[in-house]
Amino acid sequence: MAMRVTAGLCLLHLCLALLRGVAGSEGKEYNRYDFPKDFIFGASTSAYQVEGAALHDGRKPSIYDTFAHRSKYDTRNPDVACDQYHKYKEDVQLMVETGLDAYRFSISWSRLIPDGRGAVNFKGLRYYNNLINELISHGIEPHVTLVHTDLPQVLENEYGGFLNVRIIEDFTSYVDVCFREFGDRVRHWTTFNEANIFVFGGYDAGNTPPSRCSSPFGFINCTKGNSTTEPYIAAHHILLAHAYAVKLYKENYKAKQRGLVGINLLSYHFAPLTDTREDILACQRAYDFLIGWFMHPLTYGDYPEIMKKNVGNRIPVFTKKESKLLKGSFDFIGVNYYYIQKVKDNSMSLTKTPRDLFADMAVKWIFPNSSASPKEFTFPNEPWGFERVLEYYKDVYANPLIFIHENGQAESYNTAIQDQFRVEYLHDHIGRLLDVVRNGSNTQGYFVWSLLDVYELLFSFDATFGLYYVDYNDPNLTRHPKLSQRWYSQFLKGKNATTNIQMNQAEDTTIGARSSI
Ligand code: NOJ
């Protein structure tokens, strides 16, 4: 019954959204004091993308390392990345200079427990203790992700990682170490980053770790995998691993540590390509398959009806006990939002077998800038989609506590210094967020992706998002503030947010020199 009401609500929500228009606070001035008093602003990174020291001090490879090493890379080495492992004190100074309330980073499981289970690596433990202490001593709150694409490779080799139910026990033991060792200082834990896209990219398209897919569905030529079943199996185990981690925290740590545990989802706003009923329904299916896939079990204890109908016996079934465990097993949802995804009905795909996730969803995605090369890639600045997706969570999933874990603008590495386009993107999205919060969304924090120009999963170092430019041609990997850092910093320090901001003279000179790199 609850499900049917929800489905109705979804459709109503989408229709209302179409009628409401797109006007918002773009162009208006606002400042951080317009947000609720406890609203936090921060910036994000993840372990493999910034830490470097990939093979130092006992760390062993993860599936992310393996993936990064598949393609050739130049002197800008992902195993060194921004070398935050050695430069964390310098980076905390940058956070202070910017005025961040919080820093979202992830723990590398294979640095902390190099063999995936068993012995804890003392040097890994020391590194994360140092980083956390450094943050806290500067008044910056750590928000920690436990798995950001980087499952220890050894577990992938030994039993197939997330495809095997054994992952639940190993993940729970790993998070137990994290809660026990760091939980006296960490209050915000995220079990999995972009759980939905991790399984889609890793097990259907195959273009992200662990690179599994099957013909004709893969975006690459995978050597192993099954796109018709594996995404559903991996997602099932991720959901259960998440729920068991939450149970563990509630039973053993929550009373004393008073923290919160959530999960993160990449959250597009899906907009119908045309206003036909078919495309509007396709849009609803996209919401159900990409967000409902995780949010329905977490809120209502089971997968969305449309998934069960279209996927049939390829989607695993929760037992009564599992369903009970899942329902309500989160304190917050981490939302990563970048742009609107246009969708179009493709009901024909349901007449075919075999089917992958997309064919089961029966939609076609119309990618923005699909002809642009990654080097020229920037996202369309459409902040109304940000508002819609947050309204969707509010209406369909009972207004959960949300932290915006990632939002930001991509650009080619070398042209990303005077990043006025990024200033505009951030200004418009944070402005829209203010509208949404005023409209009752329980969103309590916002993190820019990313603090630094980091190693990017799909674009290596070619497309970057950083508030700070990292000079990869300089052996010191010197960080330089971009215009967007100046803008964010002024906003965080209480100035009215306006896109009319310029670098001062001295900075301009340095930037002039750098932009010829
Ligand atoms: C999502 C991922 O969480 C992060 O690792 C990635 O670098 C950004 N989006 C940008 O693509």
Q: What is the pLDDT of residues 224-253, one digit of tens each?
A: 999 999 999 999 999 999 999 999 999 999
The three-state (H, E, C) secondary structure of 327-357, written as one string: CCCCCEEEEECCCEEEEEECHHHHHCCCCCH
State residue 72's pLDDT score: 64
State residue 378's pLDDT score: 87
Indicate whether residue 194 lines ligand 1 (CB < 6 A): yes
DSSP per-residue codes, 42-69: EEE--HHHH---TTSTT---BHHHHHHH
- Å from CA of 457 to ligand 1 middle: 7
Mutate to test the pocket of ligand 1, among 192, 198, 267, 336 (most ligand atoms within 8 A of CB): 336
State residue 503's pLDDT score: 64
Indicate whether residue 121 lines ligand 1 (CB < 6 A): no
- Å from CA of 456 to ligand 1 middle: 7
**pLDDT category of residue 23 using cuts at 50, 70 and 90:** low
What residue's CA is closest to ligand 1, atom 7?
456
- Å from CA of 317 to ligand 1 middle: 30
Indicate whether residue 67 lines ligand 1 (CB < 6 A): no
| Separation CA 340–CA 389 (nearest Å) | 9
Beta bridge partners of 141: 102
What residue's CA is closest to ligand 1, atom 6?
456
CB atoms within 10 A of CB 506: 8
State residue 498's pLDDT score: 84
Atom index in ligand 1 nearest the CA of residue 459 equals 11
Annotation marks residue 194 as catalytic: yes
> What number of residues does the chain have?
517
**Residue 27 belongs to some domain of the structure:** no
| Separation CA 469–CA 471 (nearest Å) | 6
**Residue 496 belongs to some domain of the structure:** yes
Structure tokens given for 404:
């915006």
Indicate whether residue 208 lines ligand 1 (CB < 6 A): no
Atom index in ligand 1 nearest the CA of residue 266 equals 1
**pLDDT category of residue 6 using cuts at 50, 70 and 90:** very low
The residue from 156, 194, 387, 411 that is catalytic is: 194
| Separation CA 428–CA 26 (nearest Å) | 5
Q: Work out the widest C-alpha separation in the chain, in whole angstroms.
A: 65
| Separation CA 34–CA 105 (nearest Å) | 27
Structure tokens given for 11:
């459709």
Q: Are 415 and 466 in contact (CB under 8 A)?
A: no
Annotation marks residue 181 as catalytic: no
Indicate whether residue 193 lines ligand 1 (CB < 6 A): yes
**Per-residue pLDDT tens over the stretch 149-207:** 999 999 999 999 999 999 999 999 999 999 999 999 999 999 999 999 999 999 999 99
Core vs surface per residue 134-173: b (16+ CB within 10 A) or e? bbeeeebbbbbbbbbbbbbbbbbeeebbbbbeebbebbee
- Å from CA of 196 to ligand 1 middle: 13
State residue 98's pLDDT score: 98
The predicted model gives 206-233 an average pLDDT of 96
| 469 SS3 class | strand
Sequence-ordered list of residues with C-beta below 8 angstroms from that of 286, at least 6 positions apart, any chain? 268, 270, 341, 343, 361, 363, 365
**Residue 395 belongs to some domain of the structure:** yes
Judge if the upstream peptide bond of residue 216 is cis by omega within 30 degrees of 0: yes
Indicate whether residue 462 lines ligand 1 (CB < 6 A): no
Res. 265: pLDDT tops 70: yes
**Residue 108 belongs to some domain of the structure:** yes
pTM: 0.94
Res. 514: pLDDT tops 50: no
Indicate whether residue 406 lines ligand 1 (CB < 6 A): yes
State residue 25's pLDDT score: 61
Indicate whether residue 455 lines ligand 1 (CB < 6 A): no
- Å from CA of 408 to ligand 1 middle: 10
| Separation CA 512–CA 333 (nearest Å) | 41
Structure tokens given for 341:
């995804």
- Å from CA of 407 to ligand 1 middle: 9
State residue 370's pLDDT score: 46
Res. 507: pLDDT tops 80: no
Indicate whether residue 46 lines ligand 1 (CB < 6 A): yes
Taking alpha carbons only, the member of 29, 24, 31, 110 closest to residue 66 is: 110
Candidate from 291-300, 381-390, 452-461 with smallest mean pLDDT: 452-461
Taking alpha carbons only, the member of 437, 59, 299, 6 closest to residue 429 is: 437
**Residue 509 belongs to some domain of the structure:** no
- Å from CA of 365 to ligand 1 middle: 19
Res. 7: pLDDT tops 50: no
**Per-residue pLDDT tens over the stretch 433-486:** 999 999 999 999 999 999 999 999 888 888 899 999 999 989 999 999 999 999
Most confident of 27-36, 99-108, 367-376: 99-108
**Residue 514 belongs to some domain of the structure:** no
**Residue 315 belongs to some domain of the structure:** yes
Domain that holds residue 14: 2-19+35-501
Which residue intervals of 166-253 are DSSP H helices?
166-182, 195-200, 230-252
Judge if the upstream peptide bond of residue 354 is cis by omega within 30 degrees of 0: yes
The predicted model gives 347-358 an average pLDDT of 97
State residue 369's pLDDT score: 58
Q: Are 388 and 436 in contact (CB under 8 A)?
A: no
Res. 71: pLDDT tops 80: no
* CATH number for position 209: 3.20.20.80
Candidate from 25-29, 268-272, 345-349, 391-395 with smallest mean pLDDT: 25-29
**Residue 405 belongs to some domain of the structure:** yes
Taking alpha carbons only, the member of 187, 190, 142 closest to residue 43 is: 142
Using CA atoms, how far residue 194 sits from 268, 340, 424, in Å, is: 11, 16, 25
Indicate whether residue 411 lines ligand 1 (CB < 6 A): no
Mean pLDDT in the chain? Answer: 91
**pLDDT category of residue 12 using cuts at 50, 70 and 90:** low
Indicate whether residue 302 lines ligand 1 (CB < 6 A): no
Beta bridge partners of 106: 145
Dihedrals φ, ψ of 184, to 5°? Answer: -70, -15
User: Among residues of the chain, what percentage have pLDDT more than 90?
Assistant: 82
Res. 26: pLDDT tops 90: no
Number of independent structural domains in the chain:
1
What residue's CA is closest to ligand 1, atom 10?
456
| Separation CA 491–CA 486 (nearest Å) | 9
Taking alpha carbons only, the member of 145, 180, 166 closest to residue 49 is: 145
- Å from CA of 199 to ligand 1 middle: 14
Structure tokens given for 191:
């079990």
Sequence-ordered list of residues with C-beta below 8 angstroms from that of 134, at least 6 positions apart, any chain? 88, 89, 92
